[in-house]
């Protein structure tokens, strides 16, 4: 800290300034995202448009549902845009109290953790969501019309992107647990069979009636686990 002493009041004042900066950025980002919410909603609609039968479309049943859907998309887009700013402000706040080795570790955590989350979100959007939609909307027929509800679809899409972003963090968590000495380094390798069974059960739950789609989902998730095995060793 270069010889300077800071009181608790000084730390709280600095924290307040950084939180205000994050709040201002979020408000601006939310306003911008809401102005461009139409193309973002169209982007989120792309998988369901490909899966819907010809002539079918999305519906909403509540009076304010359309408005709230656009509002939610703008909100979560603003959260994503604000996340790097929050991380940067937290980094600058903690920086004076960190040793050099801690700074290096934290940089790796931010870089690889963020990269894995983005990769998981992309995987969820481009692979998982189309697979699930192709199965669930495949039951549409002349006597059974598919009319997915706007609110339900958006919640499902955003939740899938977030969940698979977190799933792709698993290798990082496995490596961290092993490095901290909480478990033996070969623990995940020795329990590989159990993990494979758990992954296949998860695939079967996500895509319950299509074995081919289950297999397509199974292999990437196994690769995520194997990456964790390598990192933990």
- pLDDT score, position 197: 92
- pLDDT score, position 81: 92
Main-chain phi, psi angles of 145, to 5 degrees: -90, 135
Cβ partners under 8 Å of residue 90, min gap 6: 18
- pLDDT score, position 79: 93
Average pLDDT, the chain: 85
Overall residue count recorded for the chain in this entry: 233
Tell me: the pLDDT tens digits for 159-202? 888 888 888 888 888 888 888 788 888 889 898 899 999 988 88
Answer yes or no: pTM beyond 0.85. Answer: no
| pLDDT interval class at 5 (50, 70, 90) | low
Q: Is residue 88's pLDDT more than 80?
A: yes
| pLDDT interval class at 1 (50, 70, 90) | very low
- pLDDT score, position 11: 79
User: Could you give the percent of the chain with pLDDT greater than 90?
Assistant: 22
Main-chain phi, psi angles of 52, to 5 degrees: -70, 145
| Among the listed residues 230, 119, 211, 207, the one whose alpha carbon sits nearest the alpha carbon of residue 167 | 119
Nearest-angstrom CA–CA distance, 231 and 5: 39
| pLDDT interval class at 209 (50, 70, 90) | low
Q: Is residue 203's pLDDT more than 70?
A: yes
Q: Which of 69-73, 107-111, 157-161 reaches the highest mean pLDDT?
A: 69-73
Higher-pLDDT residue of 118, 140: 118
Higher-pLDDT residue of 211, 64: 64
Lowest mean pLDDT among 62-71, 129-138, 202-211: 202-211
Q: Is residue 31's pLDDT more than 70?
A: yes
Tell me: the pLDDT tens digits for 35-63? 999 999 999 999 998 888 777 788 888 88
């Amino acid at each position: 800290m270069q010889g300077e002493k800071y009181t608790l009041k000084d730390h709280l004042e600095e924290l307040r300034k950084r939180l205000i900066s994050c709040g201002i950025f979020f408000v601006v980002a939310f306003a911008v995202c809401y102005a461009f919410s139409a193309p973002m909603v169209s982007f989120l609609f792309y998988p369901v448009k490909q899966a819907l039968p010809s002539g079918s479309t999305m519906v909403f049943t509540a009076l304010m549902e359309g408005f709230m859907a656009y509002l939610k998309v703008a909100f979560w887009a603003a959260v994503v845009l604000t996340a790097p700013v929050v991380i940067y402000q937290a980094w600058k706040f903690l920086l004076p109290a960190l040793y050099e080795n801690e700074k290096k570790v934290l940089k790796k955590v931010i870089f690889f953790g963020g990269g894995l989350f983005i990769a998981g979100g992309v995987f969820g959007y481009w692979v998982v969501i189309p697979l699930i939609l192709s199965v669930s909307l495949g039951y549409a027929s002349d006597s059974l019309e598919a009319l997915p509800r706007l609110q339900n679809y958006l919640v499902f899409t955003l939740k899938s992107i977030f969940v698979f972003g977190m799933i792709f963090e698993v290798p990082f968590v496995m490596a961290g647990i092993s490095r901290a000495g909480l478990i033996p380094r070969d623990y995940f390798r020795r329990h590989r069979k159990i993990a494979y069974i758990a992954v296949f059960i998860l695939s079967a739950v996500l895509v319950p009636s299509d074995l081919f789609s289950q297999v397509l989902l199974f292999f990437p998730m196994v690769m995520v686990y194997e990456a964790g095995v390598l990192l933990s060793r």
